[in-house]
A and B are shown apart, each in its own frame.
Chain A
Amino acid sequence: MKELSELIFVEGLRYTDDHEWVTASGDTVKVGITDYAQDQMGDIVFVEGPEVGDELKKGDEFGTIESVKAVSELYLPISGEIVAVNEDLDDAPEAVNEDPYKNWLVEIKPSDPSELEGLLTLEAYKELLKG
């Protein structure tokens, strides 16, 4: 498993305690998992997402991600409506291991865009990983 110094981070994204990243473009946000999360989980074999149109609240479980080690729940970092689910992952879940920042999981239309400001900055996320 990677040391802190080996992990890939991306500037300009927001992060969560659950090792997800969030980025806004226009009036929607995309959500994925961080390099730390994919590294800890190991080889990902299945991603189960929500239905497009689901209205979910911040902290709600929106799907599961299964690796050879375990099944982990995914928690929504921001309240809103699911407007897209990355269907490419159905046939190629390994894409999340290969490039976790390019291969997003869901796209949300936030019901309260100000929630984004409450998420961790890159610096705060790095602090979290240092423990």
Chain B
Amino acid sequence: MAKNPGLTGLIIEEPLLWEKGGKGRSGMCIPDSDVPAATPVAALTGAGPDFPDLSEVDIVRHYTRLSQWNFGVDTGMYPLGSCTMKYNPKINEKFAATAELAAAHPMLADEYVQGNLQVIYELQSYLGTISGLPGVTLQPAAGAHGELTGMMIFAAYHKSRNSKRTKILIPDTAHGTNPASAALCGYKPVHLKSGANGILPIQAVIDAMDEETAGIMITNPNTLGLFETNIREIADIVHSKGGLVYGDGANMNAIMGVIDLGKSGVDIMHWNVHKTLSTPHGGGGPGAGPVCVTKELEKFLPVPRAIKVGDSYKMEYDCPDSIGKIHAFHGNFSVLMRAYSYIRTMGAENLKKASHLAVLNAVYIKEELRGTLKLAYDRPCMHEVVFSDEWLQEYKISTLDVAKRLIDHGYHPPTIYFPLVVHGAIMIEPTETECKEDIDQFIAAMKTVVAEAKTDPESLRQAPVNAKLRRLDETQAARRPCLCG
């Protein structure tokens, strides 16, 4: 087996920029002024900003050193459940950087940006085909923005039927942003409890669904990584009371090309392209959360959408029932371009295979670790698997200790203490991009950490010891944050 990747190298300490440099040091030489000095108006002058005095190499080393402390999916396995940290193929970046597409000005007339519009049109069509819901908008700027768009369509639909509805059903295993998206649209979220098997019981929906409820927001597979096997029955109950079904597509990476959401009874869904379609995780940068709807709801989608007229493409704004604009221009085109690149380079068969492998990898970890850590739900999982720290409590070891010790073994910790319905949750999502050898090495690391918990629990409480910094005082950081430079 390959060696434990958790070693320290030449990691260099680096102070803040304000603590570096020296008075008068600068990154460039500016020629002496050859024009007469003028006396500026006093009101416009004052002490300048407090910039540090640094040379070019000071700055280059500063940021290079910071980047070396970073850990990303390009560094190693990043099994952060619910976040789908899968590898982003570099060819996506190459296509997104194509000057002819990337440099197009958003105010150019349609006839000058036919290539961009073709990408938008075709991506709309691909997402409609994969989801089974043919009406598509690429406008939303993120997954949660897609949810909000979906909720606005719920509201527009009920308004068009003169039906006043105030509530929305949300299971405790739904994507965490759902209640906020519904509340922002004026709906009161009604929490539904998942059953002992981790999925939503049909009876819970029968009991809660009424004609004042706009519908349900359900995540499938749910945040426990379990498939909501009652989805079709649940959708029928909601529809029978005049409600709609919002299928949060956060976990589409587990079911691409396998499940037809339209046939499962979903009316509206969004994609998290950074999870399923291998675009970068935003970190505050641009994102995209395309929304797909049934034919019946298509007229409510935001404007504009790309349409094809003869052999050319145009952005269509003339949609009288539309909820209106939710984003400027063409949406976050550069992100959409990466999703388009992923779909085109993979092809239909390989997208399906990616979902198969995402599930297979998680199931493999579940089976290999089933005797090591307690499974939160011992039933077939999809793309992620949830364990708990229950078996470690007698050694006074918690999930946090396991996570910190994994860093010493060279792995970014999995998601911990989420979902909240599992006590001391450890949620592992390997994604389809890890090979068997790497997954075996991760499993071995997990087994070693759990063995250490029993024989040498102090090594977990002290962890991490190989990292640049030891265990941080998260409590003080949260209670008394220091936000100055």
Contact = CB atoms under 8 A, between A and B. Distances in A.
Tell me which of B400, B416, B474 has the highest count of chain A C-beta atoms within 10 A of its own C-beta. Answer: B474
Interface in A1-58: 1, 40, 43, 45-46
Interface in B362-416: 393, 396, 398, 400, 416
Given A70-B417, A70-B418, A45 B478 contact: yes
A126 interface: no
Contact of B474 (A40, A43, A93, A94): A43
Given A1-B393, A1-B398, A46 B417 contact: no
B387 to A, nearest CB: 16
A45 B479 CA distance: 5
B68 interface: no
Interface residues of B, number: 13
A70 B415 CA distance: 12
A129 interface: no
Contact of A68 (B396, B418, B420, B478): B478
A94 B420 CA distance: 22
Interface string B334-358: 0000000000000000000000000
Contacts of A40: 423
Interface string A68-95: 1110100000000000000000000110
A68 B478 CA distance: 7
A69 B417 contact: yes
A93 B393 contact: no
Interface in B93-109: none
Given A1-B393, A93-B479, A94-B479, A68 B398 contact: no
Given A1-B398, A93-B479, A68 B393 contact: no
B420 A70 contact: yes
Contacts of A72: 420
A43 to B, nearest CB: 4
A45 B417 contact: no
A45 B398 contact: no
A45 B475 CA distance: 7
Contacts of A46: 478-479
A23 to B, nearest CB: 27
Tell me which of A43, A46, A66, A93 has the highest count of chain B C-beta atoms within 10 A of its own C-beta. Answer: A43
A48 to B, nearest CB: 14
Nearest to A92: B479
A46 B416 CA distance: 20
Contacts of A45: 475, 478-479
A72 B418 CA distance: 12
B397 to A, nearest CB: 10
Contacts of B423: 40
Contacts of B400: 69
Contacts of B475: 43, 45, 68, 94
Nearest to B191: A73
Contacts of A66: 478
Nearest to B417: A69
A21 to B, nearest CB: 21
A69 B419 CA distance: 11
B451 to A, nearest CB: 21
A40 B420 CA distance: 12
Interface in B422-480: 423, 474-475, 478-479
Nearest to A97: B475
Contacts of B393: 1
A18 to B, nearest CB: 13
B476 to A, nearest CB: 9
A112 B417 CA distance: 37
A24 to B, nearest CB: 29
Contacts of A70: 417-418, 420
A68 B477 CA distance: 10
Nearest to B397: A1
A1 B393 CA distance: 8
A93 to B, nearest CB: 7
Contacts of B474: 43, 68
Contacts of A68: 474-475, 478
Nearest to A3: B393
Nearest to B399: A69
A66 B478 CA distance: 10
Contacts of B478: 43, 45-46, 66, 68
A1 B461 CA distance: 13
A127 to B, nearest CB: 19
A70 to B, nearest CB: 5
B434 to A, nearest CB: 27
Interface string B112-150: 000000000000000000000000000000000000000
A40 B479 CA distance: 18
Contacts of A69: 400, 416-417
The 10 lowest CB-CB distance pairs between A and B, nearest first, are: A45-B478, A43-B475, A69-B417, A68-B474, A45-B479, A70-B417, A68-B475, A70-B420, A68-B478, A45-B475
Given A68-B478, A70-B417, A72-B420, 16 more contacts: A1-B393, A40-B423, A43-B474, A43-B475, A43-B478, A45-B479, A46-B478, A66-B478, A68-B474, A69-B400, A69-B417, A70-B418, A70-B420, A93-B479, A94-B475, A94-B479
11 contacts: A1-B396, A1-B398, A40-B423, A43-B474, A43-B475, A43-B478, A45-B479, A46-B478, A69-B416, A70-B417, A94-B479
